[in-house]
A and B are shown apart, each in its own frame.
Chain A
Amino acid sequence: MTLSRSSLPIEIQKLIIAFSSLPGIGPKTAQRLTFYVLSQNPEETMKLSEALKDVKNNLNYCQNCFFITNDESVSSCNFCKEKDSASICVVENIVDAITIEMSGIHSGTFHILHGSISPMNGIGPENLKIDQLIKRIGSKSTQEVILATNPTLEGEATSMYLSNFIKENFSGVNVTRLAKGLASGTDLEYSDFNTLSNAFENRTNIN
């Protein structure tokens, strides 16, 4: 008799399916992880289970910057409190905000859109935290909005949409976009036309 996955106990099958739903995890890896969990002592497994529960139960999105927070009051979080509110850096996702924050180059606040405009996937401005950004710009003394969306087609579309909207509705607000061009360590000969043209457009004086 050959052993198939369906002949495994239902609990095992459920866990394999649950692991398979994670990004980058295929059925083989999911199976390996499941049997690893099974071989662990109960305390270790409970720790993992509790951590997963806590992530969903105890965390919220801050209603100001849309970063994750475990603060009960979600109107502002530790990530956006006591920061220079005159400058808002707009990013696509939380990881981008963390990367910029860890570099220490931006002293202002962030606004996380939780995605980017992607017509072919049916994602429009109404599916992102754009209304909340507009309200934020309108209600506070915002002087600059830094558009730090990814230099991809979707990121550029989001950035163009936002810059058009902000320029039309908030004339006093300065809208800037992160510079684009050659990345450190690249070879000029492999650069595409788009990157080269951006690099030439944004070239700087050497004093």
Chain B
Amino acid sequence: MKKRGAYTKGLISRCTKYKDSDIIFTLLSEEGGIQNFIARGAKKPSSKFSGHIEPINYIEIYYSGNSSLPAVSQVQSVNSFLNIKSDYNLLMKAQYLVELSEKFFSDDTNYESQLNRLIDTLNELPKTNHSELVVLVYEYELLKSYGFGLRIFECSNCSVQLKKTSHYFSVNNSGFYCDNCLGEMKTNENMIKLSVESQVIFRSIERRNYKNLSSLDLDNISISDLSKILKESISNVLGVQLKSSRFL
């Protein structure tokens, strides 16, 4: 691509039609975080931008102007994630991941690593039969990278090492309770009981032992409780419920 103006690379999270044929889009960019751009005439069938400016497209752009809404002069798709876009369920998951990243992106300064993690996750999504696990790993890693990691090896109250048995997870406390501490806790606290098998998933993600994850018999382990824990933890951190989470 011929160099002209400023350059950036990123994933489009949202597009809004503006005037007759313009598109204003939000880019999760590797340099500036969340940035808005305008692609003039992008809705016209003959536009050189058409097709490139679409949510969940990884693009590189050249833009001009220092205003709050710079105009795009050139655009090139790096990855359009066609495998995701041709499957309804994967598309819903991808939209959730993008919305989730968008919320966390605004609090970050290391945009590049954040963007790379999202791109890697989107690449991984269509490759597995258990795409819900890919979402789970992303949610877990995201919380951890922002300092909201879960305490999964020891009791979140007395810090004693947890035994290999079922334990209750407290969403408010972001960790498990041992049997001794469980009795002292308030009965109205939001707690979810997790089996040993489900805890193994969390432990494998924490240790980044993804080989172990792929060897688990996931058809017989319910990961819906794990997903619920992470979604509620995210909601506690952000203070809002993500709109796309109900489509998963």
Contacts and interface: CB of A to CB of B under 8 A. Distances in A.
Nearest to A123: B243
A120 B14 contact: yes
Contact of A183 (B15, B45, B91, B246): B45
Interface string A128-155: 0000000000000000000000001100
A121 B51 contact: no
A43 interface: no
Contact of A119 (B54, B82, B85, B244): B244
**Which of A120, A186, A193, A195 neighbours the largest number of chain B CB atoms within 10 Å of its CB?**
A120
Given A24-B19, A184-B45, A186-B45, A160 B82 contact: no
B85 A124 contact: no
Interface stretch (B95-103, B141-149, B205-213): B95-103
A191 B51 contact: yes
Interface string A185-200: 1110011111101000
Q: Is the interface of B mostly helix, strand, loop or mixed?
A: mixed
Contacts of B91: 153, 156-157, 160
Given A184-B45, A185-B46, A192-B77, A120 B51 contact: no
Nearest to B14: A120
A185 B88 contact: no
Q: Which of the four size classes fits the interface of chain B?
A: 20 to 34
A119 B45 contact: no
A158 B50 CA distance: 20
Contacts of B98: 120
A143 to B, nearest CB: 24
A161 B243 CA distance: 18
B231 interface: no
B52 A156 contact: no
Q: Is the interface of A mostly helix, strand, loop or mixed?
A: helix
A104 interface: no
Contacts of A156: 85, 91
Contact of A124 (B51, B56, B247): B247
A160 B48 contact: no
A187 B44 CA distance: 13
Given A160-B91, A164-B88, A185 B45 contact: yes
A122 interface: yes
A120 B82 contact: no
> Nearest 10 CB-CB pairs, A to B?
A183-B45, A192-B51, A119-B244, A190-B48, A122-B243, A160-B88, A195-B51, A185-B46, A119-B247, A119-B95
Given A119-B99, A119-B243, A121-B243, 16 more contacts: A119-B92, A120-B55, A120-B95, A120-B99, A122-B246, A161-B88, A185-B45, A187-B48, A190-B48, A192-B50, A193-B82, A194-B51, A194-B54, A194-B77, A194-B85, A195-B51
Interface of A: 24, 119-122, 124, 152-153, 156-157, 160-161, 164, 183-187, 190-195, 197
9 contacts: A119-B95, A119-B99, A119-B244, A152-B15, A157-B92, A185-B45, A185-B46, A186-B50, A194-B82
